[in-house]
Amino acid sequence: MPALLAAALAATVAAQQAKPIANWANLNQLVPGSEIRVTLATGRTQLGFVQRVTPESLAINAAASQETLSRQDIRRVELKKPGHRGRNTLIGLAIGTGAGLAVGAGVDAKSGPGIMFPDAGKAVLSPLGALVGTVIGVALPTGGWRDVYRAP
């Protein structure tokens, strides 16, 4: 089983290396409207949305205008990855609720007989755990940038 996992990992690495990051043709796979970040030879970074790619240039819709950037002026192109804030929020909610319920059940089990609110631990700590988990899920970083092209 470990040998099979190692072989699958090696195949994945080989497939990723088959498409070198220094290949301008990688930009042809960008869908018009994709959000990108372009680093120029001058060090300036340009944010925008892909309009079109030619063998000599990259046309983007920047914040203020449309720009056509020459291939020789481009050092790096990164694609914005989709965010998962909603997913992270729901995962945080589920984990927080479960943790609050478990701690609340432990607190309730330790309480003695004659307690006026025997399920107070679960009733208080479950929503509190849900709130804390949701806040953590919202705060987790999401998205990011992935290199599509880097000049040789």
Give the three-state DSSP class for 31: coil
- What pLDDT, on a 0 to 100 scale, did the predictor assign at position 3? 54
Q: Which residue has the tokens 């090696």?
A: 10
DSSP assignment letter at 101: H
Q: Judge whether residue 18 has pLDDT over 50.
A: no
Each residue's pLDDT tens digit, 71-98: 999 999 999 988 888 899 999 999 999 9
Each residue's pLDDT tens digit, 96-146: 999 999 998 888 888 777 777 788 888 888 899 999 999 998 888 888 899
